[in-house]
Structure 1
């Protein structure tokens, strides 16, 4: 994944965090749940990027 994807995922995580905080502050459970969902999606994508990066590191080791 490129830098653009990493920035996009970090932004989605930040937006999710903001949604969750606003939902919590306003007792809006739906907005809070959307924020948690956005954060989970971003974290899953980031985990996939870390796995891919680790695989690339291993591949580079054997070159």
Structure 2
């Protein structure tokens, strides 16, 4: 269970990292979303978060 907590924490840190700082001219280019075609690391953070939520729900129902 601690492993899921570590992954959840890393995902939250990544979410805070890829949010724009308020002005699009100060964004580090590898942290931008892909324009249309392609996939970047930023585009994988939310699906990874949903994967961790699914694992957490599985643990929850296993404990009941």
TM-score by length of 2: 0.58
Q: Show structure 1 runs of 4+ deviating over 4 A.
A: none
Count of aligned pairs? 55
CA contact (8 A) 1:15 1:35 kept: no
The 5-angstrom pairing of residues 11-26 of structure 1 reads: 11-18=13-20, 21-22=22-23, 24=24, 26=25
**Contiguous gaps of at least 5 residues in structure 2:** 34-39
Structure richer in helix, relative to its length = 1
**Contiguous gaps of at least 5 residues in structure 1:** none
TM-score by length of 1: 0.58
CA RMSD of aligned residues (A): 2.9
Q: Which has the larger radius of gyration?
A: 1
Spell out, residue by residue over 1:1-60, the C-alpha distance to the aligned partner (whole angstroms, 9 max, x if none): 4322212111111111137x54x2x2x7x82x733342x322111101110011112222
